[in-house]
Structure 1
Amino acid sequence: MGWWYPSRLVMMLVVFSWVLLATTTHQLQSYETQVLLQLRKHLEYPIQLDVWQNYNGDLCNLSSTSHMSITCQNNSVTELRIMGDKLSKVSDFSGFAIPNQTLSQSFSMDSFVTTLTRLTNLRVVSLVSLGIWGPLSDKIHRLYSLEFLDLSSNFMFGTIPSQMSRMVRLHTLTFDGNFFNDSIPDWLDSLTNLTVLSLKNNKLNGQFPSSLSRITSLTDIILSHNALSGKLPDLSAISSLHLLDLRENHFDSEIPSLPKGLTTILLSNNSLSGKIPQELGEINQLQHLDLSNNFLSGTPPSELFSLQNISYLNLASNMLSGSLPERISCGDALGFVDISGNRLVGSLPSCLDSTSGKRIVKFGGNCLSIDTKNQHSKAYCEKVVTQSKHFTGKAIVLLVCVIGGIVIIVVLLVVGLLIFRRRQHAKGAPRDLHTVPKVVQDNPPLPISSELLANARIISQAAKLGTQGTPVCRLFSMEQLEEATNRFDHSMLLGEGSVGKIYKGRLENGAYVAIRSLKLHKKLLIRNLKLRLDLLSKLRHPHLVSLLGHCMDGGVQDDSTVNRVFLVYEFVPNGNFQAHLSDTSPEMVLKWPDRLAVLIGVAKAVHFLHTGVIPPSTCNRLKTKNILLDEHRIAKLSDYGMSVVADEVEKSEAKGDGSKSWHMSKSEDDVYNFGFILLESLVGPIARGKGEAFLLNEMTSFSSQDGRRNIVDPIVLTTSSQESLSIVISLTNKCISPDSSRPSFEDVLWNLQYAAQVQATADADQKSDTASLS
């Protein structure tokens, strides 16, 4: 009996400790549940979190979706991923935020971050497209265990807080698609575990931070589409770096030393100068190199073309000169080469002969001895190179003269002002009066003429905000167009649409254009038409075919003498979307991800026409044959706004006030027409020439898996995930539904982007599974 009491006491202590532990765990779980519900309140109850509302169990046990997932360990939240539907940019063209896409004015970034940091064991946070706005709170550093942070596609601005330098466990930092407008912080080397840094599509300025070159763990540096400038530092010490994306900035140095393990280098659309380093030809893992649209000079290293893994090489629109070796060898993986728009001479190496069909090669706009129709004369390239050698010295002299002149003028003005004041003071002028009267301008100059504003009914945001950067509608002569088209020879005819024939032309500067010929009725106010064309030419977007100018055949003073009008557009070389859907050849056929990319591009363009134009353009002739693809398979919408021109052309009598609206009838609604584009993208060649009635009838087949297999293009079925396909099918049904329930183009765009994200995730998972099996 002597041992019973201590043993019993020990047992009771164990039971008590177990009860206490269970109670503590329950309280902790309840506490974190309350934190999650508070976060939902901060985010203004997004529909993605509706499932939390009446859920009585442990939120850690909720099934994950593509919009929301919670991962827990030891009764604590360790991963929180939420994807909303608040787009942070109207389009790639404008970059302006949509005001009603942010959270309300009552949202507090500081309170939100404070609440988030109460989940002290978080290792992964992904809060994308939720409308979060304001400067990022410096309290974010309290998430000391965080390893992965993604706050993309929100509305954060200002500075990236320096307190984040304490988050030493971070390995992935992604702030894409926000509005950060300060310089990139120079404390990033404090994050010694950082592997991925992605800050693209912001408004960051200043120089490339030298601290990045000291983070040897980095694998991805993505800083594209900002306003960074200055010189690039030596990056060769970042031995783990695979991806370097600095596109669309203002860097003006030479190409720096780079690490040997890179697979992708994207430096296009900067102001880089000097020669292409020979060292680039020694990066054996390199697959994708884009140096286009810079000021690079000299002869490109021949080793670039023969790299074992190189598949994409773009050196277009630089100042490259000299000749490529005739016996240059090309790597087996090389599928695309663009050396156009340079000053290269001599012959084209045999391995770059695009007629073989093995690879796509662009070489126009040089002085090569091949395809002389698309080349300048050899003298042109030699002249340009000679001038460029002396340009720097002349520029310096000119700059010194200009600065000296400005200094002299400023000194004279200051001296004159002092003398004037002394004389006024000597005359006893009161000190409280301005000696130099303020000039008041009653009628300040408008960015557009008052007459144009008075008559215009189609004004883009660019024109409304001013003329800076606004393109000018060029007036072509009939002689220029006849020379460009070989007098409108039949061989230059591209096709004939509902509003006129379209010809291919080549201007005197070597640029290719598409020229549309429109016949006019006798009674027509050309003034109204010119106003409409001028305004139409001001619409610029990456996914719109740009109107460059026009030509009036006949007189421009007397309306009755004008017989035809010619519209001059940029030339898009790779055919239309309909042809790519109908063609079954391997190099032409578009897989599901490619089709989604085209659809997203067109949706962005139409969304711009609906939201970036006052009043919105809603009659845009949306058809698969009006969607053109450039050499990179980037979609560009043609025939947008043609209704207003066709209407003016077809009228036998004009009102005289140019007041016709761009708005279209309900039967021609853009969303409805886009629904048929979606439908053709799904069913492929079977849709060609069948008409709307056939397609509407086939829509019923989408309701079952067997029906889908019978109607959906086999290419789509074999290259799409079920979820991505279902999203687009559902969207198609909504677009072709009765007017009252059709989605807005903003909703259309979001659903397509979501479908693309789902597809990308599925492809990545499949690739990972395949790699694991291997």
Structure 2
Amino acid sequence: MQMGCSTTLLLVFLSWLFFASRTHQLRSYETQMSIKCEDDSVTELRIVGDKPARVGEFRGFPIPNQTLSPSFSIDSFVTTLTRLSSLRVLSLVSLGIWGSLPDKIHRLSSLEALDMSSNFMFGSIPSEMSRLVKLQTLTFDENFFNDTVPEWLDSLTNLTTLSLKNNRLKGQLLDLRENNLDSELPPLPEGLGNIFLSNNSFSGSIPEQFGKLNHLQHLDLSDNYLSGTPPALLFSLPNISYLNLSSNSLSGSLPEHLKCGDSLSLVDLSDNRLKGQLPNCLGTAAIAGDKIMVDIRGNCFSIEDRDQHPSGYCKDIDKRRSTVKEIAVLAGVIGGIIIIVAFILVIGLLIYCKKHRKQEALIQHIAPKVKQDDPPSEISPELLANARIISQAAKMGNQSALPYRCFSVENWKKPQKTLIPQHFWVYKGRLENGTLVVIRSLALHRKYSIRNLRLRLDLLSKLRHPHLVGLLGHCIDGGMQDDSTIHRLFLVQEFVPNGNFRSHLSETSPEKILKWSDRLAILIGVAKAVHFLHTGVIPPSFSNRLKTNNILLDEHGIAKLSDYGISIITDETEKSEAKGDTTKSGHVEKLQDDVYNFGFILFESLVGPIVSGKGEAFLLNEMTSFNSQDGRLKIVDPIVLTTSSQESLSIVISITNKCISPESSNRPSFEDVLWNLQYAAQVQATADADQKSETTSRPSFS
């Protein structure tokens, strides 16, 4: 050992003797010390004591035979340590160190591992430690830190191991969303109020201990690899209001008599493998939406028309593993045959991929482009009653009540002669089984090949959602007599009988007017549909012609969006392909266009169609009126003012302002829009219930 390291070692050793000699009966043979030097510098210092078992109570003062003496100064000790500027590993375990850890600990800038567990440190963990950017391991187990969980730990970008167990930490847990944490979920302090661990790689089951976190208000474990059945007590925690367990591999059945906490307002169990009956406290909310917002899509619950998978999709994982083992044994027996077959298949696939590479590239790169031109609003009086000849039928799965079909154009020739060659015409027809349909006629340039067009139609046919007008089939007409460069395409859609949203907004009949809660329900339905078009299909569908007259209402008042996805098959897509692949920024711009147009739907829902028909510039100017109470009274539809609560109305006005922001970067995502609308509906439902309660409880005088 050279002189530089020896001097430093002596400094540390004398400091240790200084405070160790003043401890209460701390014998020298009970302490183990190791020091490692490199290039005249101390790089590792490990001291492990043998203090008695952890005490139940510590009030910040020295305890005989357990802590270092009253004359010990943790500030002076850390000051001495900081002279070891090259120190990479520091371990001071079970030494009885007491006091509040000084901020100057951050001067050990080379630290990669720090372990000060089983001591008597209290107060907060210094925020200056966020400067220790090389730190990989941090352990403060079995101390008495009693402040909030540090919020700066995410700045330690190299940190791989963090352990703070058996302390007295409280408050909100660090937001650890969107990291690469991949262990099982650890037990957490019972004082936590919020836990955000989404978009990681946590596996295993949710600990039963989570059902004892009585201060917990928000829990987000979505987008992980969690399995098993969630603890029943998790739903009935006294303060829980937000519970998101979506996009995991949770399985099994929830208890039939599951209890939901009084504060619970949102439960997301979507995209798991849960099955059986939905518990009463969630089932009523999931169907009626009157108390708790519940999302159960993508499971196997025994509920009709709730976007559930078949029961076979949610088989127990153990059974699946057993099946895999059986297949492995069988593969071993007939391995030779499989290898030969696999070889033949690989050769065949290579030939197939080479042949269809262009086709696959076409499907993957279809990217809609915004088209602002309004389609003609006139509806032809022609009744295509003979639209019933079917040349072939192709069932597209069980997402729709009627299968998708290819119709023949034979019986449409006569009505077609009356068409004017323009972009969009709408007809009403009836299938042979009596089903009413709407037939939309589009003129397309002949630069499309039949195969190209059918690929696009195949994409469009897969856009199925409860709030989208169902596409039942199509018919391709090869050309027109007066223009040989035109294809005419007929899209056959379900007939939605109750008119469009715009006409209902202008309704004056008392029994037909739309109250605020009715308008919110329609807006939420449309927002769900657009959110699905943006995130629920590949490739996503943008530029969806969002206007109030493209929102149709069925006989039950359920909103359905029409004219969506048309850009997939119009000339606009071909033009965008000629310019090259659509960039990511282009996709964001198109998505924001949908947000922007939906903002005007929100605006029209607030003020009515009369004002909204005066042009975009006028509307943007009128938006300033929302900033004052008097301005709202002048511009907001009286029906809205008289049927809405102040809080619910303010939420929608706020999100409307954001949607119509001139700067696209300031506009919210559709997920944010949907969340705000659902929250506004919940606030309104609570206000309506309170008002009804006050009315019924008010004494009457006769």
TM-score by length of 1: 0.49
Name the SS for the 1:439 alignment partner.
helix
The reply on whether 1:681 has 2:613 as its aligned counterpart is no
Structure 1 residue 703 displacement after superposition:
1.9
Structure-2 residue corresponding to 1:541: 465
Name the SS for the 1:437 alignment partner.
helix
Structure-1 residue corresponding to 2:159: none
Structure-2 residue corresponding to 1:134: 202
Deviation readout 1:317-348 (Å, 9 max, x if unpaired): xxxxxxxxxxxxxxxxxxxxxxxxxxxxxxxx
Where does 1:192-591 land on structure 2 (aligned, <5 Å)?
A: 200-208=269-277, 221=283, 268=305, 437-440=340-343, 441=345, 442-444=347-349, 450=357, 452-456=359-363, 458=365, 474-479=405-410, 499-519=423-443, 528-554=452-478, 560=484, 564-591=488-515
Name the SS for the 1:639 alignment partner.
coil
From 641, 655, 672, the counterpart of 2:565: 641
Contact 2:272–2:298 under 8 Å retained in 1: no
Name the SS for the 1:37 alignment partner.
coil
Contact 2:256–2:277 under 8 Å retained in 1: no
Structure 1 residue 739 displacement after superposition:
3.6
Structure 1 residue 700 displacement after superposition:
2.1
CA distance in 2, matches of 1:681, 1:40: 41
Structure-1 residue corresponding to 2:682: 760
From 247, 260, 263, the counterpart of 1:179: 247
Structure 1 residue 161 displacement after superposition:
6.0
Name the SS for the 2:342 alignment partner.
coil
Query: CA separation of 1:82/1:593 partners in 2, compared to 1, >3 Å: closer, same or farther?
Result: farther
CA distance in 1, matches of 2:286, 2:267: 9
Contact 1:528–1:658 under 8 Å retained in 2: no
Query: CA separation of 1:221/1:170 partners in 2, compared to 1, >3 Å: closer, same or farther?
Result: farther
CA distance in 1, matches of 2:169, 2:582: 59
CA distance in 1, matches of 2:580, 2:399: 23
Contact 2:267–2:295 under 8 Å retained in 1: no
From 618, 627, 633, the counterpart of 1:703: 627
CA distance in 2, matches of 1:109, 1:564: 58
CA distance in 2, matches of 1:488, 1:709: 50
Name the SS for the 1:771 alignment partner.
helix
CA distance in 1, matches of 2:227, 2:194: 20
Query: CA separation of 1:170/1:682 partners in 2, compared to 1, >3 Å: closer, same or farther?
Result: closer
Structure 1 residue 109 displacement after superposition:
6.6
Name the SS for the 2:499 alignment partner.
coil
Structure 1 residue 708 displacement after superposition:
0.9
Name the SS for the 1:640 alignment partner.
coil
How many residues align? The count is: 489
Larger Cα-atom Rg: 2
Contact 1:622–1:670 under 8 Å retained in 2: yes
Deviation readout 1:221-243 (Å, 9 max, x if unpaired): 56979xxxxxxxxxxxxxxxx99
Structure-2 residue corresponding to 1:605: 529
Query: CA separation of 1:530/1:508 partners in 2, compared to 1, >3 Å: closer, same or farther?
Result: same
CA distance in 2, matches of 1:624, 1:689: 11
Structure 1 residue 665 displacement after superposition:
12
Deviation readout 1:642-680 (Å, 9 max, x if unpaired): 34544269x9xx999897969699799333322222221
CA distance in 2, matches of 1:44, 1:251: 42
The one-letter amino acid paired with 1:763 is A
Structure-1 residue corresponding to 2:178: 103
Structure 1 residue 517 displacement after superposition:
1.7
From 544, 554, 557, the counterpart of 1:630: 554
Query: CA separation of 1:719/1:81 partners in 2, compared to 1, >3 Å: closer, same or farther?
Result: farther
Structure-1 residue corresponding to 2:615: 691
Structure 1 residue 764 displacement after superposition:
1.4
The one-letter amino acid paired with 1:503 is Y
From 635, 641, 645, the counterpart of 1:717: 641
CA distance in 2, matches of 1:601, 1:140: 36
The one-letter amino acid paired with 2:405 is R
CA distance in 1, matches of 2:307, 2:336: 51
Contiguous gaps of at least 5 residues in structure 2:
1-57, 62-119, 126-143, 157-167, 311-329, 368-395
Name the SS for the 1:540 alignment partner.
coil
Structure 1 residue 709 displacement after superposition:
0.7
CA distance in 1, matches of 2:529, 2:478: 34
Query: CA separation of 1:517/1:438 partners in 2, compared to 1, >3 Å: closer, same or farther?
Result: closer
CA distance in 2, matches of 1:523, 1:168: 57
CA distance in 2, matches of 1:619, 1:718: 34
The reply on whether 1:158 has 2:226 as its aligned counterpart is yes
Name the SS for the 1:154 alignment partner.
coil
CA distance in 1, matches of 2:295, 2:340: 53
Structure-1 residue corresponding to 2:148: 37
The one-letter amino acid paired with 2:559 is A
Contiguous gaps of at least 5 residues in structure 1:
1-19, 46-74, 85-100, 213-217, 226-241, 253-265, 272-292, 294-413, 422-431, 461-466
Structure-2 residue corresponding to 1:55: none
CA distance in 1, matches of 2:216, 2:577: 62
Contact 1:183–1:204 under 8 Å retained in 2: yes
Query: CA separation of 1:178/1:270 partners in 2, compared to 1, >3 Å: closer, same or farther?
Result: closer
Structure-1 residue corresponding to 2:28: none
Structure 1 residue 610 displacement after superposition:
3.6
The reply on whether 1:594 has 2:518 as its aligned counterpart is yes
Contact 2:275–2:300 under 8 Å retained in 1: no
CA distance in 1, matches of 2:399, 2:353: 14
RMSD between aligned alpha carbons?
5.9
Name the SS for the 2:473 alignment partner.
strand
CA distance in 2, matches of 1:168, 1:684: 41
User: Percent same amino acid among aligned pairs?
Assistant: 41
CA distance in 2, matches of 1:719, 1:82: 40
Deviation readout 1:149-183 (Å, 9 max, x if unpaired): 76468345534568x57889857988565235343
Name the SS for the 1:503 alignment partner.
strand
